[in-house]
Amino acid sequence: MNSSDQIQPEEAVLGVLSGEIGENPFPIFAQLRDMGSVIPIPFPMDDADSQGWMVTRMEEAMKVFKNHARFTVDRRNIVDNSNIQQSLTGSEEQTDSSLFLANSLNAIDEPDHRRLRTLVSKAFTPKYMESLRPRVQHIADELLDQVQEKGEMDLVKDYAYPLPINLISDMIGVPKEDRSKIHEWSEGISNGLGLGRLDPEVAGNLQAFGDYIRQLVADKRKSPNDDLISQLIAIEEEGDHLNEDELISMVQLLIFAGHETTSNLISTGALLLLDHPNQLEMLKADHSLVPSAVEELLRFNGPSTITGPRFALEDTELGGQQIKKGDVLLLLVKSANRDELQFTQPEELDITRKIKRHLAFGHGIHMCLGAPLARVEGDIAFTTPLRRMPNLHLSIPRDKVSWQFKLSSQGLTSLPVAF
């Protein structure tokens, strides 16, 4: 698809959902915004009776994020059959595979969401995440130590990917000898899941991942340690607690969402800085700009293209469109983060930009629980190579950089650099 050509709405939307819109989808996102802040789309799931909508601008996206009386992440709230299980993919199949993350914070609403988030937040506090800074620094230095003498590395495979997965594995208590399996399962899952899609070959990875987490939790119950799973098991408040399915889903979410998105932030952010040498030079001259740069990189091209689906709980109006009960809405956060009505020169990367808000972590009660940790990781992940490898540069032609589409995000498969 040539992003410079005028396209039909259906073609554009299918391109977004399939990941076939190429490395630079932003001209297409701009065309979608011109079509409207809320535009009708082909329904991405197996329900022809409901209309699909794509939300392209920030104001309308924030209304959906915040209005829990009208929009829900849990389809069970609008479907008569209360036995339907809600999955990350929107599938209604009753298989173990389809229930991946079904009881996690991302897939439930009030009052269960408040209960679950209150319990989890007692362990996953901002203070705790900030306390991990020395550990993040140690992992970053350890990874760069392994490649420093070589003068080259694959920034994705040697740095951006192992840094967050090693950290989250440390936090959760995954033994070092099991981390390659976590990597393998996570890759298989992220490559095989999509909105309304559950590829047959991904089922084995989902089953193995779920079985492993269930056994890991059982081991922690017998022999608790100083890790998050042990803390989550121990947490009780007013007699309330995480049930087994909620605990399994929470650990899955922490592992899966806790490294995939951060890895994309580090690798894509590094490429963006290499693509904008004037911005990179500013960072080299002043490392204190890194936190601001992280926010701008998240706004400019954050890890997630769209959020998980929201469902209309009642007939309502949004962006001039009449939304019916049961309709599904997909929030195109990468488009909202370049909304001309919200940002000055939104198509320009400016690491000194004063950002009031962006939607890279979502918004409202479903805002990413790990956002403070991702910011700590981003700060250290960019600062450390700037300090140790100030001459870092691409070691392949720019047009040879390869991308892949995973679930609701776009990321790099590899990024060879020299220094």
pLDDT tens across 93-112, in order? 444 444 455 555 566 666 66
Write down all domains in the chain, each with its CATH number in brackets. 9-418 (1.10.630.10)
pLDDT at residue 4 in the model = 44
Q: Contact, 412 vs 396, CB < 8 A? A: no
Q: How confident is the model at residue 88 (pLDDT cuts 50, 70, 90)?
A: very low
Supply φ then ψ for residue 47, to 5 degrees.
-155, 95
| pLDDT surpassing 80 at residue 277 | yes
Pick from 249, 253, 235, 263: nearest CA to 160:
263
Residue 3: what pLDDT? Answer: 43
pLDDT confidence tier of residue 184, bands split at 50, 70 and 90: confident
Examine the pLDDT at 329 and tell me if it is beyond 70.
yes
Cα separation, 334 vs 306, in Å, equals: 7
DSSP code, position 237: B
pLDDT at residue 188 in the model: 73
Strands 416-418 and 193-194 come out as: unpaired
For helices 162-172 and 244-275, angle between their N-to-C axes, nearest 10 degrees: 160
Which tokens hold the place of 304? Answer: 């997630």
Instruction: Please give the pLDDT value at position 87.
Output: 45
Euclidean distance between CA atoms 122 and 128, whole angstroms: 10
The identity of residue 174, as a single letter, is: V
Backbone angles phi, psi at 404, to 5 degrees: -145, 155
Choose between 119 and 164: higher pLDDT: 164
How far apart are alpha carbons 169 and 61 in whole angstroms? Answer: 33
Token pair 């988030």: residue:
117
Q: Is the pLDDT of residue 77 over 80?
A: no
Return the top range by mean pLDDT from 70-79, 232-241, 289-298, 367-376: 289-298
Which three-class secondary structure state does DSSP give residue 97? helix
Nearest to 176 by CA among 131, 139, 133, 204: 139
Query: What whole-number percentage of the chain has pLDDT above 70?
Result: 81
145 close to 386: Cβ distance less than 8 angstroms: no
Least confident of 157-166, 183-192, 353-362: 183-192
The pLDDT, as a whole number, for residue 89 is 43
| In the chain, % of residues over pLDDT 90 | 50
Whether residue 122 is predicted with pLDDT greater than 80 in this model: the reply is no
Residue whose pair of structure tokens reads 């890194």 in the numeric block: 290
Which pLDDT belongs to residue 97?
43
Which class for 4: exposed (0-12), middle (13-18), buried (19 or more C-beta within 10 A)? exposed
Q: How far apart are CA 380 and CA 209, in angstroms?
A: 29
Spatial separation of the C-alpha atoms in residues 360 and 358, rounded to whole Å: 6
Nearest to 296 by CA among 364, 345, 366, 363: 345
Q: Residues 15-19: contacts with CB within 8 Å, 24+ apart?
A: 16/54, 16/305, 16/306, 16/332, 17/44, 17/194, 17/195, 17/306, 17/330, 18/405, 19/404, 19/405, 19/406, 19/410
